[in-house]
Chain A
Amino acid sequence: MTALLSGRGLTRMFDGKNGCAQIDIDLHPGEVTCIVGESGSGKTTLLNLLSLQLRPDAGSLYYRTDDGARIDLGLASEIDRRRLMRTEWGFVRQNPRDGLLRDVSAGANISERLMANGARHYGALRDTAIDWMRKVELDHGRVDDLPRDFSGGMQQRLQIARNLVTGPRLLFMDEPTAGLDVSVQARLLDLLRTLTSQLGIAILIVTHDIGVARLLAHRLLVMRRGRIIETGLTDQVLDDPQQPYTQMLVSSVLPV
């Protein structure tokens, strides 16, 4: 298989009911996968299991490294897992406050992962930071401004730049557009769409916004009560939903 990340039988339950159970999932390079479902459907638990923020009660997680080797992340050392998380993976949080360093400039935020990986040239770091601010359409003249001086949408783009700077192969996003104005959302979605097609990385997005899924995702997973109940090509799942719950979910979307 060419999957970058594969979960098999992933299970993590809280209080015996909430959580997710028996999840099989494959994330492929160049593919954007969206998990949709209502609150409590287990989608955030699954995201946390896949991104190593949470240990599963049962199941395995395999990652294909750059040189094609397949490693069992459940058995990998913590040092390897952390290296993965700060180099080959990125995690964009719903609230930029949780994903940014609050007390240092935009440039320092973008540079952190590079420095953690050993970059030691200030001038080069700064040039890279400026370059990434351009790529995410932020005014690079503000490279020394603090995150709180940016608007919510700009902070979210800063968070994306901070994650993409190490050229990750896999990006996790938790409700990246929630809490943003509609016009700001459109801009962020457009940016994400462009970056994903340019970079060819695997992306997993958790969202409850069907519009976000329709625009960005190649593939859709519908979750309910901790299980994946339907999966397939995004437009197929949205235009020809099979499960009662998916039909209800799709028909609940307000038409534009």
Chain B
Amino acid sequence: MLTMQFDVAETAGNRLAPDVMIDVSGLSKSFTIHAQSATRITALRAVSFQLRAGECVALTGPSGAGKSTLLRCIYGNYLATCGTVSIRDQKRGTVTVTGADPREIIALRKDTIGYVSQFLRAIPRVGAQALVASPLVELGVKEAVALRRAAELLERLAIPQKLWALPPATFSGGEQQRINIARGLIADHPILLLDEPTASLDAANSAIVSELILERRNKGTAIMGIFHDEETRDRVATRLFPLQAA
């Protein structure tokens, strides 16, 4: 098996303070591009912070500062080069994402972390409503209930009902993004990671999305996001976390 390429940092007894949902400590990430004679690109250097329940932290910084990379490291999509990411999980206590077994990350994603990526990854033959409902179904909610909840969200996000049964692969960019947001929000995860959720939305739809994010924040969800337009950011964020290009 592979040896992990990061140092396991000393976390405080591997336990988080009661309202801390995410603890990032000394996180660095670099990419080695082997095709380009092993060029090493550093995206994050020694990032540390904590995210608490009911907070919405907006990541800021220039393009290339590693904002998306940070979200992906937290979500387990990228391997950290060194440092730790710990997540509070209702069932499992504190889970250290860095170095976790794939099954632990899958469980964490199912129960605890919602993630809205920039682009929707459509699944062949699965209609929009079913796609939105699937995270709830995976949690064991009855399909009919999940579909009803999906319908409510799609309605709020102003997706025309005639599209609900269709696979979203052929939808417009804005429609796909709203499907993605609905899918990310439906399971009421205690942690939400948002990667430019309003990038291709018009003002009216951005406002709806902001409203939804605010509702979740007020319910105590810990939110971390990248928001390209300042208006949305100012509406939803409780604080800013600036990243410098590494």
| Interface residue ranges, A against B (CB under 8 Å) | 24, 28, 31, 186-187, 189-190, 193, 197, 215, 218-219, 228, 230-236, 239-240, 242-244, 247-248, 251
Contacts and interface: CB of A to CB of B under 8 A. Distances in A.
B136 to A, nearest CB: 13
Interface string B91-126: 000000000001101100000000000000001111
A233 B1 contact: no
Contacts of A219: 102-103
A190 B2 CA distance: 32
Contact of A240 (B35, B79, B102, B105): B79
A79 to B, nearest CB: 33
Contacts of B35: 244, 247-248, 251
Nearest to B5: A242
Interface string B145-166: 0000000000000000000000
Interface of B: 1-2, 5, 31-35, 72, 76-79, 102-103, 105-106, 123-126, 138
Given A232-B102, A248-B35, A242 B124 contact: no
Contacts of B79: 232, 236, 240, 242
Given A193-B123, A215-B123, A230 B72 contact: no
B102 A239 contact: no
Contacts of A31: 103, 106
Contact of B77 (A215, A240, A248): A240
A31 B33 CA distance: 30
B76 A187 contact: no
B1 A189 contact: no
A239 B72 contact: yes
A245 to B, nearest CB: 9
Contacts of A248: 34-35
Given A24-B1, A240-B78, A242-B5, A218 B126 contact: no
B124 A190 contact: yes
Nearest to A182: B124
B77 A239 contact: yes
Contacts of B124: 186-187, 189-190, 215
B125 A187 contact: yes
Contacts of A244: 34-35
Nearest to B126: A190
A233 B78 CA distance: 10
Nearest to B34: A244
B30 to A, nearest CB: 11
B143 to A, nearest CB: 11
Contact of B33 (A231, A234, A243, A247): A247
Contact of B138 (A189, A197, A239): A197
B2 A28 contact: no
16 contacts: A186-B125, A187-B125, A190-B124, A190-B126, A218-B103, A218-B106, A219-B103, A233-B102, A233-B105, A234-B102, A236-B77, A236-B79, A236-B102, A236-B105, A242-B2, A248-B34
A1 to B, nearest CB: 11
B33 A236 contact: no
Contacts of B2: 230-231, 242
A24 B5 CA distance: 19
B53 to A, nearest CB: 26
Contacts of A230: 2
Nearest to B38: A244
B116 to A, nearest CB: 15
Contacts of A186: 124-125
- Across chains A and B, which 9 residue pairs bring their CB atoms closest together, nearest first? A186-B124, A244-B34, A233-B102, A240-B78, A190-B125, A219-B102, A247-B34, A233-B105, A235-B77
